[in-house]
Chain A
């Protein structure tokens, strides 16, 4: 039997996904060992393989067919813009992609003035401001702690994921506009979907039952 390979985004989401998979009878004992330094884990009996990768790399592994199935947040899917099938909403890790900043920035968003936008998601930010709001902005790509940008004056607003909004509040920022809702998704490689149609469809059906 050919392996079906899963690429999972490291962190909480991977744990939740493994939990869901366990509910439908797909287990991976090797993976539970937190101290292991192995990179790839297998369930030989059922013919599944799993590996963890950085979230942003999951769509890449799936698009190129190195993994058949991936589990990753909608934010990463939008940002990476890869050609993959997005087949199931896991309803986990729900949050929103938002424009946030100090209350004073609200006006600048409305009068269409040239502002600076800091984000870990430059593609999403660009698409939102250029194609939806038709506002010319300067986008600054950052790699973390984006909330810092408006505080120290690197940018007027930020585009980032907001879950509860408490980090924003603590730093005197607030949600100014909502771009789209987000959650974890199951993505599938185009070729795998065709070549391993039966097994993958069965798996997705089962998953749908426990989501």
Chain B
């Protein structure tokens, strides 16, 4: 764009400061109201399941999130140093922090602990990929409960959270981390090849899997399972029996039994219609040890919620406690709801009480009454230089519901924004 240097008046001092860095953004107006409402709804569901709030710091020592413990690669974390030259990171997810808290404050507890949180997380992804670097996660963690009931409850709760947010069409996929691990163990695949195989299965690269396996010496039956693994999704019993017939790994058999149990309980919750299985689901998070799940919907290119069992994570902080958790990315959920046009509200609402200076006392009294009745009311002293029409336009611009113009001691004009109607009311 060329700049016309003769037009000085186009330049506004400070305008180069208006934009935010890539990957972060302002959320304001109706979008902000919607986001907070969605977060609150999800959080309320968690509360109704007996989860209690916890807050952990926005930044912690790097070691809390390092390789085995974290969800994000080291190079994708925002790092900085404290005065003692320790490496700090802006948290890429919240789960390891909460595990640390549990190990610190509830070390002796043997019965279940339920904790939930809402917080920002940060991932230093590369630019121009259309990904936010700062998102809000709403999540819940359940400790000291290793039953299939706990697995099912978390999954059922996630379904309810998503339904409560207003989402109608979504899918929850469940899998088990031990299926792949058990199969690899049985096949005796080297660590290096395992990683390659994992990558191929994660990207559902069927032919790549086949090619890789042809270079290895493993039994035909297992080969069949690996090749078929990326396709094993949908109906649980069909998938399970396919794998069961072809493996002797105890680990895999246990995992399959667990999935069947969880599915049975989910039927009691009455949420089966939202659930499908994906036996090839391998989380990129190495800390998952049991059931893993992801939620998908239209209008958002990636999963909007993830979760799973991570019985080994707390151990890394010196306490042996089974755990299962889930996290909903509020920004993804919001995006999906917006794209699916599921928000009914179109304006922020609220009342403007317009009053002339001389009626201040009356206006304050009126405002107090209205607020006590639950109205969100904004006072506005009328300037003698502006007429009522200007204030009506202002209310339209700001998405208010109505303007009350206290014209006289004993009467006011009520302007309803949506209909444009004006009525005079006696007080």
Interface size on A, residues (CB 8 A): 22
Cross-chain contact of B296 among A85, A86, A88, A191 (Cβ < 8 A): A191
A60→B173 CA distance, assembly (Å):
24
Of residues 263 through 312 on chain B, the ones whose CB sits less than 8 Å from some CB of chain A are: 276, 278, 296-303
Binds B, one of A20-28, A34-42, A157-165, A193-201: A193-201
A190-B298 in contact given A85-B204, A89-B207 (Cβ < 8 Å): no
One of A63, A64, A66, A195 near B171 (C-beta < 8 A): A195
CB distance from A168 to the nearest CB of B (A): 27
Assess whether B205 is in contact with A191, with CB atoms less than 8 Å apart.
no
Partner of B173, one of A2, A84, A194: A194
Chain A residues with Cβ under 8 A from B299's Cβ?
65
Does B298 lie within 8 Å of A195, measured CB to CB? yes
* Smallest CB separation, B302 vs chain A (Å): 6
CA distance A145 to B166 in the complex (A): 53
What CA separation (Å) do A210 and B19 show in the bound complex? 51
- Contact among A84, A88, A191, A197 with B300 in the assembled complex (CB-CB below 8 Å): A191
| Cross-chain contact of A65 among B173, B205, B278, B301 (Cβ < 8 A) | B301
Least distance between B348 CB and chain A CB atoms (Å): 29
Residue on A with the closest CB to B301? A65
In the complex, given contacts A60-B130, A195-B169, what are 8 additional A-B residue pairs having Cβ atoms less than 8 angstroms apart?
A64-B130, A65-B299, A85-B204, A86-B208, A87-B230, A191-B300, A194-B171, A194-B276
What is the CA–CA distance of A85 and B203 in the complex, to the nearest angstrom?
Answer: 4
Cα distance, A197 to B205, chains bound together (Å): 16
Q: Are B171 and A86 in contact (CB under 8 A)?
A: no
Which A residue's beta carbon lies closest to that of B203?
A: A86
B207 / chain A contacts, CB cutoff of 8 Å:
88-89
A2, A85, A89, A191: the one within 8 Å of B301 (CB): A191
Is B234 on the interface with A (CB-CB < 8 A)? yes
Contact in complex: B130, A194 (CB < 8 Å): no
Closest chain-A Cβ to B198's Cβ sits at a distance in Å of: 14
Q: 5 A-B Cβ contacts within 8 A? A: A60-B129, A65-B302, A86-B205, A87-B206, A197-B234
Whether, in the assembled complex, A175 has its beta carbon less than 8 Å from a beta carbon of chain B, the answer is no
User: Within 8 Å CB of A189, what residues of B?
Assistant: 301
A127–B336 Cα distance when bound, in Å, is 35
Q: Which of B169, B203, B230 contacts A84 (CB 8 A)?
A: B203
Q: Which residue of A lies closest to B130 (CB)?
A: A64
Most chain B C-beta atoms within 10 Å of own C-beta, residue among A87, A189, A197, A201: A87
The answer to whether B206 touches A63 (Cβ under 8 A) is: no
- B233 proximal to A (CB < 8 A): yes
Interface string of A86-100 (1 = CB under 8 A from B): 111100000000000
B87 to chain A, nearest CB (A): 24
Q: Which of B171, B204, B231, B302 has the most CB of A within 10 A?
A: B204
A170 to B396, CA, bound (A): 70
**Bound-state Cα–Cα, A126 to B301, Å:** 28
Which residues in A have their C-beta under 8 angstroms from that of B278? 194
Instruction: With both chains docked as a complex, state the minimum distance between the C-beta of B409 and any C-beta of chain A, in angstroms.
Output: 60
CA distance A202 to B187 in the complex (A): 31
Q: A88 to B299, alpha carbons, bound, how many Å?
A: 24
Is A188 among interface residues, defined by CB-CB distance under 8 A? yes
Least CB separation from A67: chain B residue: B301
A101 to B203, CA, bound (A): 33
